[in-house]
Amino acid sequence: MKRSVLLLSCCLAFSSAQAASECPGFPSLATSGEALLAQLRALPPVGIERELQACAPKTIIDFAYSGGVLCRFGVDKESVEAATAAVTRLADGGELVEYLYLFPYAPDSHARLLALLAAHFSRLDKAAYPAFLQAARPGKETTALFAHGGYYISLGKPAAGDSAEWYSNVIFEKMDRPALGVRKICQDAADD
């Protein structure tokens, strides 16, 4: 799958000597997919790839990836550097429904991400997680879920058996349109 190759290639090449810009959409939440994409293009990324998801509702995901550091969450020694970002919009009308950042996984940087998110957003108890996050997913673990401004903000990491044990992720999903980005599951018409 194109998405997996892009994410893996960006993280394998993760290294940069230059100071990174702050990641758009954190800690202030993004409101426009076009504005967020323009900010990502200005970083500049090594490339932007587009993926169309044809199952209803049709969505467009733009992946911005780097050959090193794309941007950073936080400041100074507490910052965590992202290598990849993705922005998901509805194909009809372009409404922003999700955006995310991927970070090379390490326990200490994952802990810093948790602290950064907790400093800005309200953490939810597991009992309040939406259904799409309560189901077990092989190799994926949601470390924490936050809510703010109509968004779910989740922090994820690899779990035992994950073939992509190299990344943490922070996903911002519209509460009224969850699981339409990288979590979207398309089923064949025969499955309906």
Domain map (residue ranges) of the chain: 2-185
Give pLDDT tens digits for 83-98.
Answer: 999 999 999 999 999 9
Residue in this structure with the two tokens 């109509």, named with its chain if needed = 150
pTM of the model: 0.86
How long, in residues, is the chain?
Answer: 192
The amino acid occupying position 27 is P
Q: How far apart, in Å, are the Cα atoms of 107 and each of 103, 111, 114, 157, 166?
A: 11, 6, 11, 9, 11
Give pLDDT tens digits for 121-178.
Answer: 999 999 999 988 887 676 688 999 999 999 999 999 987 766 656 889 999 999 999 9
Beta strands in 91-166 (DSSP E): 96-104, 122-123, 140-148, 151-158
